[in-house]
A and B are shown apart, each in its own frame.
Chain A
Amino acid sequence: MPIELLVQALLNGFALALVYVLVALGLTLIFSILGIINFAHGEFYMLGGYATYFGVAVFGLHYVPTLLLAIGAVGLAGVVAERLIFRHLRGKTLNAFIVSLGLLWVLQSGAQLTFGVLDKPVPSAFSGIIRAGRVIISVERFVVVLAAVGLIAVLYGFLQWSRVGRAMRAVAQDPDGAALQGVNIEFTSMLGFAVGCALAGAAGGLLAPVFAVSPPMGALPVVKAFIIIIVGGMGSLPGAVLGGLLLGTVEGIGSLFFSSAAVNVLGFLMVIAVLLVRPRGLFGAA
């Protein structure tokens, strides 16, 4: 097998996996702060996609400011969802499961009824391809990867060094202790939920020109995000990045040798195998 083909396969896998890491980070942030799994997370990804579609394709704005607006808008949608719904469900895993499922249906169906049922293309701001020997990546995807890495770095800095970011980590580790230290739990969890949603929205906005937008577009990234966070470990940023790269490797290389169904099975088997060796994921807290 020519080495270029392997490099191309790895590149294929990594490029998108890093975007799905953004979705995964949002999911895991919400989980560690509110103690719930938000199944409607993919719908915030979808909202990010449609916000970008409206900005670029309908109102003719430039892609970059549109993307930033989209991220802000989805973050705001997250604030609304948290205040109206999710703050009542903190720590109630089962109830949050049902409610987020209901929200998933409402948002997906609502999008279909308002925006139409067909996929809508989003014009790309970047064209052309980058070629190194026989290895190829489109400029569009290259920019997406860079942006994803940038956003991951920003998130890392935010959680590590900003006041609210540190408060979020404190709440994630020990809500009662954090409250005793004067952290405003209500505000922090609202902000955590909003940031989580904004990350999903960012991923949706980044991939909108690459994949077009449609009402059910949120289903796929959420499944990928699940795989990434169980492999990496709930609540761990480096874990999610590593999980994403592992998934990218399995999917990229696996696709060369196996059918796509077998590759999907392989992804899930990887999850099972990792959990059997490390029951809380590679980087999960013990």
Chain B
Amino acid sequence: MKGQRCHGWVLMLAAVLALGTAAPAAAAEKTLEIGVLGPLSGGAASYGVELLRGAEMRSDEINKAGGLKVGGDVYKIKLIAYDHKASAADAATAANKLVFQDKVKYIIGNAVGATCNAVQTVTEPQKVMFAFVCWGTNNLGPDKPHSFRSMLSQWEAAEPFYRWIKEKRPTIKKVAVISPNDTSGLDTNTAVVKAVKGLALDLVSEETYERGTKDFYPILTKILAKKPDLLDVAAAPPAEAGLILKQAHELGFRGAKGWTAGVNPVTLVGIAGVEAAEGVWSPVNINVRSDFVDPKVRKFGDEYEKRYKEVPGVIAVANYGAFDVFTKAMQEAGSVETDKVLAALTSRPYDTVWGRLVIGGKETYRIDRQFLYPMVISEIRGGKIVDIEQVLPAALKALTK
């Protein structure tokens, strides 16, 4: 894998050099530099690496197809990726480098809540377009017109998810929710609690844990003593969600299971085991191997697996989609100028890997900057992820009415 990528870089370098010398004679081919940020090392590395891989996949596709045609120009896309190591302070410095040194106008991809706030202190004053998968509620707002969330968050997912659960299994009354104690975890818990209470279900336990925890016996002993009907491993990342479900199963839990903010069901099944993962419902998951999924997603999943030897999670798909949407908006605008792209982006729906995608969310964030698309509620059956029903987020329903 390493060798391959090195090889790729060498080829790319050679290509750039060759183009550099040949350029004056050829037609005006330009380079569009796009930044990607994220934790590429350490405990949160899986988020950043998936973001960057999603970006690599889409930009390579565009470049292989001859480049991005915008107006009369053709652009080759060049990614500039920096590791901010999940540190807010480092994210600000890395964003400074992207914006002032590399003169990037688009940063597509960032994860880890606290770093998004830090990056926005750089991008917003400079009017740099910024797309991310951070789940902090305050990452979107009228004071941040250049910031977009490129995947559904708990605020879109929790309410319709629990409404669906209530209709499907009216016997479920007592809900327990557990998340990591960071921005995305706490905000997810808040959204779940709001949904649960709004639907007159009974919240028996709301717990958080330090990210990186492996042993959930102590917390689960406390939770299971409250006898929940449904255990929601809300914002737990796949491996930790898998461990929670595995250990809950060992401790005798046999109730229903939910994963409001699930991101990679394949990893979850691998770690929890088929038995403990049986029956997990999830609304925002994407299963690239599903028979029901759009052929485009399936193709993406196959190629991703071939290239990186791992199954992509929702974050890889989200950033692939974000690249797709932004580049399409550039073509629509006929320009790479950010204000024209911004106008094009918010004015019409786009066909993406997610299906029909609209940018909305004004009711929640007071500005339309949230990617909205149909979500598929899935259930894990016998280790397979089975899509059950398509549900529209409320904000999307309102827009399509």
Contacts and interface: CB of A to CB of B under 8 A. Distances in A.
A260 B217 CA distance: 12
Contacts of A215: 45
A118 interface: yes
Interface stretch (B61-69, B190-198, B202-210, B384-392): B202-210
A264 interface: yes
A65 B292 CA distance: 43
Given A119-B239, A261-B181, A129 B221 contact: no
B2 interface: yes
A178 interface: no
A216 B214 CA distance: 12
Nearest to B46: A117
B339 interface: no
A25 to B, nearest CB: 19
Contact of A108 (B42, B208, B273, B309): B42
Contacts of B42: 108, 216
B238 to A, nearest CB: 7
A214 interface: yes
B296 interface: no
A5 B217 CA distance: 12
Contacts of B1: 113-114
A193 B376 CA distance: 53
B217 to A, nearest CB: 4
A261 B210 contact: yes
B4 to A, nearest CB: 12
A109 B48 CA distance: 13
A90 to B, nearest CB: 30
Contact of A9 (B46, B218, B311): B218
Given A116-B309, A119-B267, A220-B212, A136 B43 contact: no
Interface string A5-19: 100110011011000
Given A5-B225, A108-B41, A116-B309, A212 B218 contact: no
Interface residues of B, number: 40
A219 interface: yes
Interface in B313-344: none
A120 B2 CA distance: 19
Given A12-B215, A216-B42, A116 B310 contact: yes
Given A5-B225, A12-B215, A121-B270, A260 B46 contact: no
Interface in A94-141: 105, 108-109, 112-114, 116-121, 129, 136, 138, 140-141
Interface of A is mostly: helix
Interface stretch (A154-162, A166-174, A249-257, A268-276): A249-257
B214 A12 contact: no
B54 to A, nearest CB: 13
B126 to A, nearest CB: 31
Contacts of B270: 119-121, 212
Interface string B1-16: 1100000000000000
Interface in B96-134: none
Nearest to B214: A211
B399 interface: no
A259 interface: yes
Contacts of B214: 207, 210-211, 217, 220
A260 B212 contact: no
A145 interface: no
A8 B252 CA distance: 13
A183 interface: no
Contacts of B251: 136
A256 B215 CA distance: 14
Contacts of A118: 46, 238-239, 264, 267, 310-311
A263 interface: yes
Contact of B45 (A112, A255, A260, A263): A112
A141 B251 CA distance: 12
A260 B264 CA distance: 25
Nearest to A257: B222
Nearest to B2: A113
A12 B221 contact: yes
A258 B215 CA distance: 16
Contacts of B49: 112, 117
Contacts of A216: 42-43, 45, 212
Nearest to A264: B210
Which residue, of A140, A207, A211, A264, has the highest number of chain B Cβ atoms within 10 A? Answer: A211
Interface in B1-38: 1-2
B309 to A, nearest CB: 6
B250 A138 contact: yes
Which residue, of B1, B50, B207, B271, has the highest number of chain A Cβ atoms within 10 A? Answer: B271
Given A129-B250, A260-B213, A264-B210, A212 B239 contact: yes
B262 interface: no
Contacts of B213: 220, 260
Interface in B230-256: 238-239, 242-243, 250-252
Contacts of B45: 112, 117, 215-216
B219 interface: yes
Contacts of A251: 218
A71 to B, nearest CB: 20
Interface in A153-202: none
Which residue, of B215, B222, B239, has the highest number of chain A Cβ atoms within 10 A? Answer: B215
B310 A255 contact: no
A214 B45 CA distance: 10
Nearest to B239: A119
Nearest to B217: A12
Contacts of A254: 218
23 contacts: A12-B217, A13-B218, A105-B41, A116-B308, A116-B310, A118-B239, A119-B238, A136-B252, A141-B250, A207-B214, A212-B242, A212-B243, A212-B271, A214-B239, A215-B45, A216-B212, A217-B214, A220-B213, A252-B218, A255-B222, A260-B219, A263-B218, A264-B210
Given A114-B2, A117-B49, 9 more contacts: A108-B41, A118-B238, A118-B310, A119-B267, A136-B252, A211-B214, A255-B222, A259-B207, A260-B218
The 7 closest A-B pairs by CB, nearest first: A255-B218, A119-B239, A12-B217, A121-B270, A211-B214, A216-B43, A138-B250
